[in-house]
Structure 1
Amino acid sequence: MQTFDPAVIEFTKQLQNWHASRVATLQAIVDHPDANIKLADIEIKAGSDIAKGMRVGLQIALSQLGELPFSVTPSTDEEEDE
């Protein structure tokens, strides 16, 4: 989608950054099976059945999140004239 609206462009950038950050965090947990997982005041030991199950769940979540299904391209003044 092309737009001139700076609010739409900024919102899209913020959403893309938020999504990329969340995906990176989840991927880091999956990529480090030897690390404990800390959730608030609960620590799940690396290699435990719970940690293994969580990592499988995160892999499923990552496959569902994938990449955002849209992008926004800022339009130029010349494109508006056409």
Structure 2
Amino acid sequence: MTNAMKKKESSAAAVVSFEGVAADLAGAGVVLGQTFGARALVVNRKAIACLNGDEMAFKLGRDSPGPPWRSPQPSGPPPCTAGKSIGRSNE
């Protein structure tokens, strides 16, 4: 298995932060679940975000503008995830 395929372990701080995001979004119907063996935020049985190591990735919709450095109308398929490191500080 290559490094890209290995599941990263999440720190306790990342798990607490991820669960906090789930709690903050509970009013919108978001619940904790799993996708491909990773912790996930789920709405109507569909994963919208997952935790991999200390990073959280979000699924973006078809009409999402994507990152600001991309052109407004990319020639390829729309972006589907964006990652954000959580649970660790760079002190």
Same fold (TM over 0.5): no
Structure number with the bigger relative contact order (C-alpha 8 A, sep ≥ 6) is 1
Q: Which has the larger radius of gyration?
A: 1
Q: TM-score, normalised by structure 1?
A: 0.24
Structure number with the higher strand fraction is 2
More helix, by proportion: 1
Taking structure 2 as the reference length, the TM-score comes to: 0.22
